[in-house]
Amino acid sequence: MTQAVFEQLYGNQSDKQLERIAEKVFGGERISPEEGIQLFEKASLPWLGALANHVREQKHGDTTYFNRNFHIEPTNICVFSCDFCSYSRLYAHKEEGWELTAEQMLDIVKKYDGQPVTEVHIVGGVHPKLTLHFFADLLKKIKAHRPDLHVKGFTPVELDYMFRKAKMSRREGMEFLKEAGLQSLPGGGAEIFAPEIREQICADKVDAEGWLEIHRIAHELGMHSNATMLYGHIERFHHRIDHMERLRQLQDQTGGFNTFIPLKFRNKDNAMSHVPESTIVEDMRMYAIARLYMDNFPHLKAYWPMLGRNNAQLTLSFGVNDIDGTIDDSTKIYSMAGSEEQTPTMTTNELVQLIRQARRKPVERDTLYNVIQDYSEAAV
Ligand code: V47
Ligand code: SF4
């Protein structure tokens, strides 16, 4: 779409600030934090959708990526107690939680022997007895069993705790885990960076500076990573922009982020159940603004186990070009927080159909976005 067509279709907002933002987007210019806030405050859903879709199609055309992956959640026992978390159990109540041995986790990996999965995503609670050395051994065992499986694992929340317990610096700890087989970091644990919000929802875990430093080190060691933002609870629009701005700045310096993943707050069975969930309109506006603001992030992901399949399809018209993977019912984080997806699993066929129904082109990727198979023509 050209700027002239966009203006004809959507340009009667009679708002000079929004007009200037549209001009910048069409001219490939970066929008400022103040303009980001104006988008949240004033821009309509169709206006945002059209603009974000323009950016998405310029970057990726109709291509929509997915991968074949599974999760391992080593434990839901956690020394922290984030108010939004429906999943963790304190160590004092450890009999209510789960804790897998290294053998049990290796058995999960072995279940996929002979299957064309490309990634294992390892993330869980922060268990006081599961140490850096325990996880390094686990990584070595996984890589020895299946060298081709890309291991994306551990958030800075888990990493910071294990490094401190092992009395290693963040850099030493990251080097140690990389040597053991860790290849990428997932995006979790970021929540909202602003301290006044962090203090209220997850006071005791790694702060924004720690989260960003660990990702910076990962990038400096040649690893890639993702970034998330937990939105739609007690934060305000300027907190979301501050969060995205910090990520955008780090990305300018390192270029190590692959994907930004806005995570919608779900309110079942947690200490924030009184906080209403965002509407689907606000969710789509969030995705579109993320696509416009995060101009140096190549990919924008909607995580379907959290949003549900229909809403994930809708995001593909609001800037999103990735819908994560087959998952195979291997994560409990969202089913326990009230997602419609109680047993998240999709076959490759179902994922391909879901993308096709949204009139996009399904492409299977690996963790680093190398194309594995283009399904636009293939019969599945
Ligand atoms: O950091 C926890 C979030 C995250 C709730 O990198 C909640 O590819 C909503 O980061 N409502 C962990 N969100 C999951 C995560 C992730 C997921 C998928 C892919 C990738 C990736 C990363 O889950 C936590 C937290 O922000 N979370 N509880 C809740 N009630
Ligand atoms: Fe623990 Fe993570 Fe849940 Fe916080 S979100 S309580 S760190 S498992």
- Indicate if 42 and 82 belong to the same structural domain: no
33 CA → ligand 1 middle, Å: 25
pLDDT of 13 reads 61
What ipTM goes with this model? Answer: 0.98
Question: Considering the domain boundaries, does residue 260 fall inside one?
Answer: yes
Q: Which of 59, 83, 99 is the last residue of a domain?
A: 59
- Indicate if 39 and 134 belong to the same structural domain: no
Contact between residue 44 and residue 13 where contact means Cβ atoms under 8 Å apart: yes
- Indicate if 52 and 99 belong to the same structural domain: no
Q: Which of 59, 87, 107 is the last residue of a domain?
A: 59
**CB 31 less than 6 A from any atom of ligand 1:** no
Q: Give the number of whichever ligand sits closest to the CA of residue 76.
A: 2
SS3 240: helix
- Indicate if 258 and 346 belong to the same structural domain: yes
What is the CATH classification number for the domain harbouring 344? 3.20.20.70
Phi/psi for 273 (5° steps) reads -65, -20
Atom from ligand 2 closest to the CA of residue 78:
1
pLDDT of 295 reads 98
- Indicate if 20 and 44 belong to the same structural domain: yes
263 CA → ligand 1 middle, Å: 6
The string of pLDDT tens digits covering residues 79-114 is 999 999 998 888 778 888 899 999 999 999 999 999
Atom from ligand 2 closest to the CA of residue 125:
8
Q: Where are any strands of DSSP class E within the chain? A: 63-67, 69-72, 119-122, 150-153, 184-185, 224-231, 257-264, 299-300, 322-325, 361-365, 371-374
The reported pTM is 0.95
- Indicate if 45 and 178 belong to the same structural domain: no
Question: Considering the domain boundaries, does residue 379 fall inside one?
Answer: no
**CB 156 less than 6 A from any atom of ligand 2:** no
Question: Considering the domain boundaries, does residue 276 fall inside one?
Answer: yes
- Indicate if 41 and 100 belong to the same structural domain: no
Q: Which residues of the chain have pLDDT under 70?
A: 12-13, 328-335, 344, 379-380
199 CA → ligand 2 middle, Å: 14
**CB 344 less than 6 A from any atom of ligand 1:** no
Where is the binding site for [4Fe-4S] cluster, in residues? 78, 82, 85
CA distance 348 to 140: 29
Question: Considering the domain boundaries, does residue 380 fall inside one?
Answer: no
Question: Considering the domain boundaries, does residue 80 fall inside one?
Answer: yes
- Indicate if 324 and 366 belong to the same structural domain: yes
Residue nearest to atom 4 of ligand 2 (CA): 82
Question: Considering the domain boundaries, does residue 238 fall inside one?
Answer: yes
Tell me which of 73, 76, 78, 96 to substitute to probe ligand 2's pocket, judged by most ligand atoms within 8 Å of the beta carbon: 78
CA distance 247 to 72: 26
CA distance 129 to 380: 45
SS3 222: coil
User: For the chain, what is the domain count?
Assistant: 2
- For the record, the structure tokens of 343 come out as 């047993």
AA letter at 25: V
265 CA → ligand 1 middle, Å: 9
**CB 226 less than 6 A from any atom of ligand 1:** yes
**CB 205 less than 6 A from any atom of ligand 1:** no
Report the C-alpha dihedral over residues 273, 278, 280, 286, rounded to 10 degrees: -140
Residue nearest to atom 8 of ligand 1 (CA): 186
pLDDT of 332 reads 66
- Indicate if 193 and 316 belong to the same structural domain: yes
- Indicate if 280 and 226 belong to the same structural domain: yes
Contact between residue 186 and residue 153 where contact means Cβ atoms under 8 Å apart: yes
**CB 82 less than 6 A from any atom of ligand 2:** yes
CA distance 349 to 340: 20
The string of pLDDT tens digits covering residues 144-194 is 999 999 999 999 999 999 999 999 999 999 999 999 999 999 999 999 999
Structural domain range at position 25: 3-59
Tell me which of 76, 215, 228 to substitute to probe ligand 1's pocket, judged by most ligand atoms within 8 Å of the beta carbon: 228
pLDDT of 369 reads 97
- Indicate if 259 and 159 belong to the same structural domain: yes
- Indicate if 105 and 135 belong to the same structural domain: yes
C-beta neighbour count of 210 within 10 angstroms: 17
Question: Considering the domain boundaries, does residue 258 fall inside one?
Answer: yes
Question: Considering the domain boundaries, does residue 114 fall inside one?
Answer: yes
Q: Which of 12, 33, 59 is the last residue of a domain?
A: 59
Q: Give the number of whichever ligand sits closest to the CA of residue 277.
A: 1
58 CA → ligand 1 middle, Å: 28
